Structure 1
Amino acid sequence: MAEFIYLASQSPRRRQLLEQIGVRLELLLPGDADAAEALESERAGEAPAAYVRRVTRLKLDAAVQALHVRRLPPAPLLCADTTVALGRRILAKPRDADHAARMLRQLSGGTHRVLSAVALRWGDWRGEALSTSRVRFAVLSDTDIADYIASGEWDGKAGAYAIQGRAARFIEHISGSYSGIMGLPLFETAALLRQAGWR
């Protein structure tokens, strides 16, 4: 069994979460960041759970290909994707500050879901899991939103916020996985690693 896993993700949060549970990892970053972002494009009418699972599978397929092309030593390969859903509406990464502010206004005073899918491949074995959490935001004032947008923390974040950052002060209640809301549900990830034979 390999002594490390490959994490195919540019997210520093996912790296920190894996290290938190004692997993040694090597980053397997995409050669083409634009191509990696293109994998996250939505399909018309696609449900949030189907979307996040599909994107995670595509990321895993791309990472497997990169592993072969680069002729890297074999090891388990982990991918994940996270999205925010308001009903059936997907709130992915905002395009710009105005788009981020609109998202925060939509989340203000209500409950939304955060869906994080994880996929793992080791040899011929492949497994996946989905974590769904619910997050309730307080009512946000225009000043709350403007201050948060000015921080720049919204950039690259599904739903335009990061629970582990300044947006924590907006959150009245969560139900589900805190690590899943951050971007990598650790319970589900550890279960997949055990199924793959990781100790």
Structure 2
Amino acid sequence: MDHTIKKVILASGSPRRKELLVSLGWPFDVIVSDVDEHLLPKEDPVAMARRLAESKALSVSVDFPEAYVIGSDTIVTIDGQVLGKPADREESLKMLRLLNGKTHRVYSGVALCSGDRMFSDVECTEVTFRQLDEDALSAYVESEEGLDKAGSYAIQGQGALLVQSIHGCYFNVVGLPLYALSCLFEKAGLSLADQWRMREK
């Protein structure tokens, strides 16, 4: 297979997703989609994550039909409530209080668009927070690390100390489920061996 035929595009401005792709050694471009990330009435988290991931991939793919375009969206839920990115420190603290000492779910939709072909999946990981006092929660909020992240924390940063345990894919919580993405590439005709050969020389 000619591995130079298609380039890879990440349709996301997330630094975490970019870092994960960099770790795989793949050459890729970043083109941020302009999809409105809103919740539709009565839309469940799985449907929402898949819809947004597919929409992001498709919005960029229309201009680059010969490329593999990756879209992804991550949603945090607890007790039936969807937690997006906090607007400010006050909302960040409210979110962390909700998650404190409890188990929540992180859903990441991932989509791979190649011309007129779309492949997508949704990964779910359960994350349990340790029980923390108000001073600890406030100290984490003051770091502002979680202000641009769904659920208001970063498991790959200082937020790792909030977490007692996880059940499922770690990379999913970071924002891009790599196993699910690899499986989508396989469905698109790129074997795991081919994926390893995509790395930059």
Q: Is the 8 A contact 2:55 2:71 kept in 1?
A: no
- The code of the aligned residue for 2:12 comes to S
Aligned partner (choices 160, 164, 187) of residue 168 of structure 1: 160
- Deviations, residues 32-60 of structure 1 (Å, cap 9, x unaligned): xxx54xx1111233211111112112212
Counterpart in the other structure of 2:20? 17
Q: Please name the residue that 1:110 is paired with.
A: 102
AA of the residue aligned to 1:167? G
Say which of 160, 170, 180 aligns to 1:178. Answer: 170
Per-residue deviation, residues 72-109 of structure 1 (Å, max 9, x unmatched) = 58211110000101132101111111111000000001
Contact 2:93 2:141 in 1 (8 A): yes
Q: Which moved more, 1:164-173 or 1:15-24?
A: 15-24
The corresponding residue for 1:44 is: 41
Q: TM-score, structure 1 length as denominator?
A: 0.88
Give unmatched runs, 5+ long, in structure 2.
195-201
Contact 1:114 1:133 in 2 (8 A): yes
Distance, in Å, in 2 between the alignment partners of 1:50 and 1:3 is 29
* Residue 77 (str. 1) matches residue 69 (str. 2): yes
| Equivalent pair of 1:48/1:89 in contact (CA under 8 Å) | no
Aligned sequence identity (%) = 35
Distance in 1 of aligned mates of 2:46 and 2:187: 22
Secondary structure, in 3 states, of the residue corresponding to 2:77? strand
Which AA in structure 2 matches 1:28?
A: I
Partner residue, 2:56? 59
Amino acid at match of 1:128: S
More deviation, 172-181/187-196: 187-196
Counterpart mapping for 1:80-159 below 5 A: 80-159=72-151
Instruction: Classify the secondary structure of the residue corresponding to 1:172.
Output: strand
**Secondary structure in 1 matching 2:43:** coil
Residue segments in structure 1 that go unaligned for 5+ positions in a row: none
What's the TM-score once normalised by structure 2's chain length? 0.88
Separation of aligned partners in 1, 2:32 and 2:114:
18
Mapped partners of 1:87, 1:52: distance in 2: 17
Q: Which whole-Å CA distance do the structure 1 matches of 2:26 and 2:114 have between them? A: 15
Counterpart of 1:29 in structure 2 is 32
Give the alignment's Cα RMSD to 1 decimal: 1.6
Contact 1:91 1:159 in 2 (8 A): yes
